[in-house]
Amino acid sequence: MSPGPRVSCHARRRQVKDYALQRFGLEVGRHVRQTLIRRVRQGDVKYARSVTNSRTVVVLDYGGVEMAFLYSSVTKEIVTFLPPDAPETAEWRHAQSAAASALCHPRQCVPDWRRG
């Protein structure tokens, strides 16, 4: 079985830019792309999970916007930006909602034997 048609680097970056603009209203130029990649390499992310041996789902804050994207460790590039409700980030969203629901009013957190 032969691999599908290869997509040029320029076409791939164009698609990444389009998805970023579509999903986050973010213009991704060279500076923004390099900043995001640098933050991934430094570990300055909210969430990261391996999807395959070379692909990682990353969630981070950039410019006050929480964004998710797929990062390739082989090419050291952003493969695609993911929508906020992407299945790849479902585990992280679930953990976030569980943490938020664990926060309670201080009086509700006091054990029954201490209420008096």
pLDDT tens, position by position, 70-101: 999 999 999 989 988 888 888 877 887 777 66
pLDDT at 26 over 90: no
Q: For residue 13, which of 33, 39, 35 has the smallest C-alpha distance?
A: 33
Q: How confident is the model at residue 5 (pLDDT cuts 50, 70, 90)?
A: low
Backbone angles phi, psi at 101, to 5 degrees: -75, -20
Helix/strand/coil percentages in the chain, nearest 5: 40, 20, 35
pTM to 2 decimal places: 0.73
Q: Where are the domains of the chain?
A: 9-114
